[in-house]
Amino acid sequence: MKKKGFIFDLDGVIVDTAKYHYLAWKNLAEELGISFSETQNEQLKGVSRIRSLEKILEWGNLEISQDKFDKLLVEKNEEYLSYIDKMDQNEILPDVVRVLEYLKTQNCGIALGSASKNARIILDKVSLREHFETIIDGTDVTKAKPDPEVFMKGAERLNIAPEHCVVFEDSVAGIQAANAAGMISIGIGDSAILYEADHVFKNFKEMDDQFINQLITTEKV
């Protein structure tokens, strides 16, 4: 049996930092006089910071200078960092550690594949960095999801072929990226939103060891 690789997104899969992104983007949008809803925030999940701000400006039909654009990116990230600075292990989502530890006992490759440039900081805050063989974050890629670059790099660093990899994602863009990479895509969240995934679970508590064993032995078809 081929060794299987498991690639985890960070925000909304391992920890719920999506709520902090939402607060920071909402405050930024309101500063610009643009209304910003949780529905719109869903469209920013898994998307780079630059593209996220571009989308907000498009929604508000607003154009700003490059200097202002760059300044807003810094402001948003500083506010976001002020939230995650207070994070600890209590922020880890249910049963994430159980799944990570089980995969390790099965000799699976484990990687992180996130658009966040703060991924390593967050993993340190919640004491999970040691669970990952490799980390691919926003500092390692040039193309945002739904481009599969982040997951292809994860597979490459694990030295495991893409068709032998499984991706856990909470965003539409992330699921599309996993599918584009030819990997098994597992949605974590709402099945009505993540319907393009091969399988969807509300959270890891719904995912038993039997299902994980199936992932370890199943190929993408």
- What is the helix (H) or strand (E) element at residue 6, kind and residue range? strand 5-8
**Tokens representing 140?**
């390692």
Catalytic residue among 9, 137, 170, 198: 9
Handedness of CA 128, 131, 137, 143 (dihedral sign): negative
Distance CA 86, CA 67 (A): 30
**Tokens representing 108?**
């699976």
**Tokens representing 12?**
């909304």
Catalytic residue among 11, 137, 170, 198: 11
Closest CA to 81 of 49, 58, 54: 49
Distance CA 207, CA 185 (A): 14
For 156, what's the count of Cα atoms within 13 Å in the CB-facing half-sphere? 9
Distance CA 17, CA 103 (A): 23
Catalytic: 70? no
Catalytic: 11? yes
Neighbours of 212 (CB within 10 A): 20
* Residue 187 · residue 175 · CB < 8 Å: yes
Distance CA 154, CA 150 (A): 6
Catalytic residue set: 9, 11
